[in-house]
């Protein structure tokens, strides 16, 4: 299996050249996965835009609420990813298998709870966004169709994270590409109708999303159960307080970080709206272009989490540090090149989205500023992944809270509104927050304050109270 191949490579690493190869093998599939999700997300938005502005707004506000769901599901995924990497690095295969199944159980529970919340509170949640009546009607319909079966949304996040924790980044990539293509095809067929299939409008868009997630969840479950390392065991589905507490301890701060980020975005978005329609449109377009840089960052951050997690689980603390450094350097080089492209080609990229010269100028200004801060963004994203791999999810959460509320939100208001710098002030504020957090993470890393070693797994924990006669020999062999 793929995860076994990665582990074999890790055990035979002799040079930085070998390490860089391993980092690349893990990161590139994650980058490609993010790329396809972004491209096909544009296609999805394009089809919905043909229905009208009310439908586009309905999908937009629904996704803003769903971002809260995503934060919860991603937090479970982060916790599962880290603990599985730790346990496999320590050769505690049964612990990794057990906690992976407990993460799936947790995903099912949270998916069920969010589905029930959507069923009863879809309209009240959307009303909090202050939307108009026509948008509320379309949004409530779309939200219920997509949100009630959120179990599949939850499974997609968690199953992909489990496979990545085992060193398999290719399977989530393949599944993601397939389901995004399926989603795009179903969007066209169900939204506009085809042959005997009637035109369904926004209902079709919602159904396409749900069908794609069902297919994706089934495919990931199939691949995970085929894994020799993490194949399912019947006795591991029963709720286990120890593993659930482990997942909660790591996952809660990760969820908190994303929720803090989301809340801050809502506030400073209000400041951007106050700058006028043209400024807000330029801000949104620039953000859609800049998102390509995040693909690279998230891909390499995934590799950092896996590799650091496995090395810490194996007790190779110095090797974990080397992997964190090399991943940061590699990402820094890649995103600096991309930053230069954003700096020099921002106006040209903006011209694909609008013909308004003022808006194009604002887009170019925003992307020039973004390009200058890309090296800091590279460091921030990868070191956050490394901290998480080292079982330290609390510090990134605290740092995000300070950066978002004490730096970004305040500076957006001061520079963008008070001093009248407009959109340039907004993007300088965003860059200042990114640089601040990156510098603090580097300082903590150099001081050796980035590992939460007290949470590292111990060999004797392989002999779980539920260990059966069939796997007792494996337990004894670990001593």
Residue with tokens 């009546």: 133
Measure the CA–CA gap between 146 and 153, rounded to whole angstroms: 9
Q: Please report the pLDDT score of residue 41 as a whole number.
A: 60
The better pLDDT of the pair 46, 151 is held by 151
For residue 330, pLDDT beyond 90: yes
| H helical segments located in 314-421 | 317-350, 357-389, 394-402, 409-411
List all residues 6 or more positions away from 75 whose beta carbon is below 8 Å from its beta carbon: 251, 252, 254, 255, 258
DSSP string, 214-283: HHHHHHHHHHHHH-TTT---GGG-S--HHHHHHHHHHHHHHHHHHHHHHHHHHHHHHHHHTT-HHHHHHH
Residue 246 burial (C-beta neighbours within 10 Å; 0-12, 13-18, 19+): buried
Query: Which two tokens mark 219?
Result: 């495919």
Q: Please report the pLDDT score of residue 74 as a whole number.
A: 83
Measure the CA–CA gap between 465 and 205, rounded to whole angstroms: 47
Mean pLDDT of 201-217: 87
Buried b vs exposed e over 282-309: b needs ≥16 C-beta within 10 Å?
Answer: bbebbbbbbebbbbbbbbbbbbbbbbbb
Q: Please report the pLDDT score of residue 467 as a whole number.
A: 37
Span 424-449, pLDDT tens digits: 998 999 999 999 999 999 999 999 88
Phi, psi of 68 (to 5 degrees): -70, -40
Span 176-192, pLDDT tens digits: 888 888 888 888 888 88
| Percentage of residues of the chain with pLDDT beyond 70 | 85
Measure the CA–CA gap between 282 and 275, rounded to whole angstroms: 11
pTM for this entry? 0.77
> If DSSP codes are grouped into helix, strand and coil, which group holds residue 194?
strand
Span 241-269, pLDDT tens digits: 888 788 887 777 877 887 888 777 777 76
Do the beta carbons of residue 97 and residue 231 sit within 8 Å? yes
For residue 103, pLDDT beyond 80: yes
Span 26-62, pLDDT tens digits: 888 888 877 776 666 667 667 776 777 667 667 767 7
């Amino acid at each position: 299996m793929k995860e076994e191949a990665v582990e074999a490579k890790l055990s035979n690493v002799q040079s930085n050249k070998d390490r860089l190869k391993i980092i690349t093998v893990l990161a590139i599939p994650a980058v490609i996965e993010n790329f396809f999700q972004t491209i096909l997300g544009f296609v999805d938005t394009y089809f919905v835009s043909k229905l009208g502005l009310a439908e586009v707004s309905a999908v937009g506000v629904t996704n803003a609420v769903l971002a809260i769901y995503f934060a919860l599901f991603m937090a479970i995924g982060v916790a599962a990813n880290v603990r599985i990497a730790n346990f496999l690095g320590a050769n505690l295969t049964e612990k990794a298998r057990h906690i992976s199944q407990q993460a799936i159980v947790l995903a099912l529970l949270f998916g069920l709870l969010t589905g029930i919340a959507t069923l009863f509170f879809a309209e009240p949640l959307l009303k909090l966004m202050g939307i108009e009546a026509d948008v509320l009607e379309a949004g409530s319909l779309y939200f219920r169709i997509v949100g009630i079966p959120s179990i599949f949304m939850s499974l997609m996040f968690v199953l992909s994270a489990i496979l990545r924790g085992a060193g398999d980044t290719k399977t989530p990539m393949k599944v993601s590409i397939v389901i995004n293509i399926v989603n795009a095809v179903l969007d066209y067929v169900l939204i506009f109708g085809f042959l005997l299939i009637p035109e369904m409008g926004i209902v079709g868009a919602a159904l396409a999303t749900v069908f794609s997630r069902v297919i994706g969840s089934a495919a990931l479950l199939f691949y995970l159960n085929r894994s020799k390392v993490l194949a399912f065991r019947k006795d591991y589905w029963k709720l286990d307080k120890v593993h659930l507490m482990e997942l909660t301890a790591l996952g809660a701060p990760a969820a908190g970080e994303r929720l803090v980020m989301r809340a801050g975005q809502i506030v400073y978005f209000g400041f951007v709206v106050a700058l006028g329609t043209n400024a807000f449109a330029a801000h949104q377009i620039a953000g859609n272009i800049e998102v390509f840089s995040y693909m690279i960052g998230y891909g390499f951050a995934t590799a950092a989490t896996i590799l650091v997690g496995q090395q810490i689980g194996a007790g190779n603390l110095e090797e974990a540090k080397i992997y964190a450094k090399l991943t940061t350097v590699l990402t820094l080089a890649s995103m600096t090149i991309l930053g230069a492209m954003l700096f020099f080609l921002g106006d040209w990229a903006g011209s694909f989205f609008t013909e308004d010269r003022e808006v194009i100028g604002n887009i170019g200004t925003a992307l020039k500023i973004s390009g200058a801060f890309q090296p800091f963004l590279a460091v921030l994203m990868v070191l956050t992944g490394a901290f998480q791999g080292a079982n330290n999810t609390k510090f990134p959460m605290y740092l995000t809270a300070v950066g978002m509320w004490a730096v970004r939100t305040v500076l957006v208001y001061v520079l963008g509104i008070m001093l009248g710098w407009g959109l340039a002030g907004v993007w300088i504020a965003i860059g200042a927050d990114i640089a601040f957090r990156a510098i603090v993470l580097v300082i903590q890393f150099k001081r050796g304050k980035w590992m939460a070693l007290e949470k590292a797994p111990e060999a004797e924990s392989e002999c779980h109270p539920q260990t059966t006669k069939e796997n007792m020999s494996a337990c004894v062999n670990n001593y």
